Structure 1
């Protein structure tokens, strides 16, 4: 129980990224960047992350104590954000984005693996009972950040986010760690062997295709929604409140997702989450206004809970023995960032040429297509694939 409490505290402070992430696009606009340039920043970061993320995952899988890797990443991230706040040119910002991607790309898969290990064997606690604390941290930090930015400026978001990262590195020291059993792999067991392994799994191929379409068509909504709200007349305070309202439903949603995953299977809950994403995009497409955007953010909190908890569990169920962090890195970082390389500049171009509104109809079409692909590539009540060695 002490380990569970410590990991929940760790996830709570990962949520302090809510101080900055909802407002980062406003920082870029303040520095004079266009939508296309903002998109290219995403591509630059993605290109870096897709290369290094599997390396981080493999390092984590092959060492007894991956905590040190996480602590290094978090302190490095804090330094990067402080330097980023002082940049005024596209290339200055881009250089920090590259460095940040090099340092932090492995943090999410390693964190997910630690959390899944903490709830292993627990009957009443699932991954959602840990991840929900990140949502609480995001809800509180985003609304506080909006209030502070209106009074002090965007610099406060960078400082608070950096402080949260350093604090989290210290919190990791409080988590009791057992020396994990490192699964030996033959010398030929590299990332390409893992990819070859998943090519024979119809469900994992379908998942990769469905996620690629989902991410590329929803990317513009994620990148430019804050700017869209600003165009419609919202201030930083209201933007912060909307981020909080989007995160609060995740507190119940992730516990609900835990229960549904146990009852119906991770693949079913994942499909429900994606279907709910289409509803949120459709709501804004039909009724484009600030009240609709806020209401759909609330619904998105439930959608994200279903989608994220089910996705992490689904990948964990199908990862080869001893390769969980590497598999997480491949799907949640490398694949996502590969998609971002094309999706980010295309989203920026769509924003510049069509306007923010048309990002939502694009999101509706892509989300529904993603659901159809997943619907026909994964069948059966539950995902029953035994952990096998490569």
Structure 2
């Protein structure tokens, strides 16, 4: 039974991140090919973040308050596989495209954090190991990145067929995932504001938000900017695959890193890696430096992702764990993509991509220094308070 659960979740994560690799990484190129401007692309690629900002906390509460979180996950995967077809059907008209991307995003954005909430709870019961399962997600992302880079260079419109087929596969796999209950189902409800009473988590969220805006710009425009600098689609695909593989050591050995160095030191190093990476884009992007930037990818997004997931799983109360994982996604992806994608698109349209990446260098350096100073005035993150037990009182919903 345990081996079956591991196999299903491993395949599910591989498919989920294949979907991300095939859609999110290349949809900007599709919009460019059909004649959409940079500013409009920034809005279209960021609308998912706007939808996520509103919808993800609601999906999180739905998961926490449903009989099982799995039922909500199944709905999201099925509807994502269907609604992605609305994008090509919308043609090249901006408003229909915006509505299509918004509806697709409504179901797509909660899938990853809801999957994490389920897997982390199964991990705490000894059924699976979260870091190992998450590694399969990066394997899937790496495989599809190379294949998609080759395929989409020749048939960019096939992006929708590939994404739909993969998402339907996710739906089929989600049926076999072990059931995880919603811990507020039929019980007292807990306010979402309970999460923000943890001052250390608030500091983590602030630092995460600032660096996530830089990542949001990268995801929206790196393929477009790289093509303008003479980087081929094949090299872009290889870079994305290398970036995925570069995350493996950090996922496989994450618990050792976390226990030995602590969350504070891990994220300070990640802040410095962010700064170096944007400097490569700003001051000399070539095929070689492009590949180097993706080698550095393992020290950026995934470290924040794993640290936040681990922190929430250990220190947020049981009744709000799914909601907490959704908030991680809201901070790291939704808000970051809104600022990085929308405002970054406007900035790049006015001042160019070069100056945009120079600004990212400044943001990363200043926010890392700010986190270092702020963290000195709080207890060590490795000594964070223990989570409350079910025997302690909780606040009823208002």
TM-score, length basis structure 2: 0.88
8 A contact 1:221–1:363 mirrored in 2: no
Equivalence map 1:141-180=2 (5 Å): 141-151=144-154, 153-177=155-179, 179=181
Task: Give ranges in structure 2 of 5+ residues lacking alignment.
Answer: 389-393
Equivalence map 1:361-380=2 (5 Å): 361-375=358-372, 376-377=374-375, 379-380=379-380
Match of 2:41 among 38, 43, 52: 38
Cα deviations across residues 236-277 of structure 1 (Å, max 9, x unaligned)?
A: 222211111111122223112232113333343233323322
Name 1:285's counterpart in structure 2.
282
8 A contact 2:217–2:341 mirrored in 1: yes
Distance 1:363 1:145, change over 3 A: same
Report the CA distance between 1:101 and its aligned residue. 2.4
Cα deviations across residues 332-362 of structure 1 (Å, max 9, x unaligned)?
A: 2267434544443210112112222222222
Equivalence map 1:170-319=2 (5 Å): 170-177=172-179, 179=181, 181-182=183-184, 186-187=188-189, 189-190=190-191, 194-195=192-193, 197-319=194-316
Cα deviations across residues 4-23 of structure 1 (Å, max 9, x unaligned)?
A: 23211111111212122221
8 A contact 1:266–1:313 mirrored in 2: no
8 A contact 1:129–1:258 mirrored in 2: no
CA distance in 2, matches of 1:269, 1:296: 19
Between Structure 1 and Structure 2, how many residues are aligned? 383
8 A contact 2:66–2:184 mirrored in 1: yes
Report the CA distance between 1:179 and its aligned residue. 4.8
Name 2:77's counterpart in structure 1.
74
Cα deviations across residues 119-172 of structure 1 (Å, max 9, x unaligned)?
A: 21549x743211111111011001111111233x11222211111110011111
Report the CA distance between 1:379 and its aligned residue. 4.1
Equivalence map 1:85-164=2 (5 Å): 85-86=88-89, 87-122=91-126, 126-151=129-154, 153-164=155-166
8 A contact 2:67–2:185 mirrored in 1: no
Report the CA distance between 1:383 and its aligned residue. 4.4
CA distance in 2, matches of 1:4, 1:259: 21
CA distance in 2, matches of 1:183, 1:274: 39
CA distance in 2, matches of 1:180, 1:186: 12
Answering whether residue 50 of structure 2 is matched by residue 47 of structure 1, we say yes
Name 2:341's counterpart in structure 1.
344
CA distance in 2, matches of 1:199, 1:323: 12
CA distance in 2, matches of 1:311, 1:249: 19
Name 2:391's counterpart in structure 1.
none
8 A contact 1:282–1:361 mirrored in 2: yes
Answering whether residue 28 of structure 2 is matched by residue 25 of structure 1, we say yes
Name 2:18's counterpart in structure 1.
16
Task: Give ranges in structure 1 of 5+ residues lacking alignment.
Answer: none
- SS of residue in 1 equivalent to 2:179: coil
8 A contact 2:10–2:133 mirrored in 1: yes
CA distance in 2, matches of 1:335, 1:261: 19
Report the CA distance between 1:184 and its aligned residue. 6.0
Distance 1:185 1:300, change over 3 A: same
Distance 1:340 1:304, change over 3 A: closer
CA distance in 1, matches of 2:210, 2:381: 24
8 A contact 1:8–1:130 mirrored in 2: yes
TM-score, length basis structure 1: 0.90
Distance 1:334 1:381, change over 3 A: closer
Report the CA distance between 1:331 and its aligned residue. 3.2
CA RMSD of aligned residues (A): 2.3
Distance 1:257 1:337, change over 3 A: same
Report the CA distance between 1:53 and its aligned residue. 1.1
CA distance in 2, matches of 1:327, 1:85: 34
CA distance in 2, matches of 1:115, 1:266: 21
